[in-house]
Amino acid sequence: MKVPVTAQLLDGKSLARTIRLELRDEIVEFIENNGEVPTLAAVLVGNDPASEVYVRNKVKACDEVGIHSRMFRLPADASQDDLLALVAKLNRAKDEPTHGILVQLPLPKQIDSTRILHAISPLKDVDGFHPENVGRLVQGAPRFIPCTPYGIQQLLVRNGIETAGRHVVVVGRSETVGKPMALLLMQRGAGADATVTVCHSKTHDLARLTRQADILIVAIGQPQFIKAEMVKPGAVVVDVGIHRTDAGLVGDVDFPTVSQVASRITPVPGGVGPLTVAMLLVNTLAAARAQQ
């Protein structure tokens, strides 16, 4: 049975397509002016099925816009030193330029993800996770913005959703989404100037805070956690989660009930996910320009 939706859907899939079309023209111009093709190196360790799909989607998106992708695979039992050696090689790549480096997470348990992400050159860190790039974001002078928060900001801006002076509640404090999302919204300028509250697993009376949000961004990693009674009527709801269940793919938000309360809401799938990939491409072109 199809659930009736009263909230307006925020179509991330359509917006990602628009961004890719814009990028295609910019990349053609870059190649004509520099004689070099923006290049992304994607590194996959092991054979995790979800990671395989994510990397394949990213490589396909590169091909669509004219970015050259280089795929590097290591076995599941690869050592941390093996991966560090590959990252070091890509950092100094001269014979075949590599402008951006993406190491797909999660990594096998024998590898320290933080050590690997910190080893990537900050000039090639198109995921925006290197401490130097995180520090630049904190200071309001970002080089590369983490792709999911960047995509959410574009979703808000391009749909005419005002953030200045609005109360934004971010549920989740991960290094990849929650923290950078809050930092991005606190900056000055378009898609920012918000008053931000960050909630997490230790927050008391979470529902009291989520009900105050003009814009509610949920990245808590629990399927259908946010219910209608936790949402302010008329709020904008952005769902970052994606979970495979017996009923199909669902997000961190209980879409059937929350869509009856919110004014705008992202679907799962087709909301934030496609924009994450699109902004990876944007960052790769930015890296190529910075390295000229």
Query: Are 188 and 147 in contact, with CB atoms under 8 Å apart?
Result: no
236 and 162 co-located in one domain: yes
Is 58 among the catalytic positions? yes
Catalytic annotation, pick one of 125, 127, 214, 254: 127
* pLDDT value of residue 170: 98
Does residue 90 lie in a domain region? yes
Mean pLDDT for 163-174 is 98
Catalytic annotation, pick one of 8, 48, 95, 104: 104
76 and 162 co-located in one domain: no
Q: pLDDT averaged over the chain? A: 96
Mean pLDDT for 158-163 is 98
165 and 70 co-located in one domain: no
| Number of domains present in the structure of the chain | 2
Does residue 16 lie in a domain region? no
Is 232 among the catalytic positions? no
CA distance 87 to 78: 13
User: What is the CATH number for 150?
Assistant: 3.40.50.720
172 and 264 co-located in one domain: yes
Mean pLDDT for 139-155 is 97
Does residue 70 lie in a domain region? yes
166 and 228 co-located in one domain: yes
Does residue 30 lie in a domain region? no
* pLDDT value of residue 6: 87
* pLDDT value of residue 212: 98
Structure confidence by residue, pLDDT tens digits, 76-119: 999 999 999 999 999 998 767 899 999 999 999 999 999 999 99
59 and 152 co-located in one domain: no
Q: Tally Cβ neighbours within 10 Å of residue 180.
A: 25
Mean pLDDT for 15-21 is 98
**Higher model confidence: residue 122 or residue 50?**
122
Ramachandran region of residue 248, left (φ > 0), alpha (ψ -120 to 50) or beta?
left
Structure confidence by residue, pLDDT tens digits, 181-231: 999 999 999 999 999 999 999 999 999 999 999 999 999 999 999 999 999
pLDDT at residue 4 tops 70? no
Catalytic annotation, pick one of 58, 124, 179, 232: 58
Model pTM? 0.95
Does residue 104 lie in a domain region? yes
pLDDT at residue 131 tops 60? yes
Is 127 among the catalytic positions? yes
169 and 92 co-located in one domain: no
* pLDDT value of residue 1: 42
Q: Which domain holds residue 258?
A: 146-273
Does residue 137 lie in a domain region? no
96 and 199 co-located in one domain: no
44 beta partners: 73
Does residue 253 lie in a domain region? yes
* pLDDT value of residue 146: 97
User: What is the CATH number for 107?
Assistant: 3.40.50.10860
* pLDDT value of residue 167: 98
Query: Are 259 and 2 in contact, with CB atoms under 8 Å apart?
Result: no
Structure confidence by residue, pLDDT tens digits, 237-263: 999 999 999 989 999 999 999 999 999
DSSP-based helix, strand, coil % in the chain, nearest 5: 40, 15, 45
* pLDDT value of residue 229: 98
Q: Are strands 243-245 and 248-250 parallel, antiparallel or unpaired?
A: antiparallel
160 and 101 co-located in one domain: no
Does residue 29 lie in a domain region? no
CA distances from 157 to 52, 100, 166, 174, 219 (A): 31, 26, 13, 23, 19
101 and 170 co-located in one domain: no
- DSSP string for 233-259: TT-EEEE---EEETTEEE-SB-HHHHT
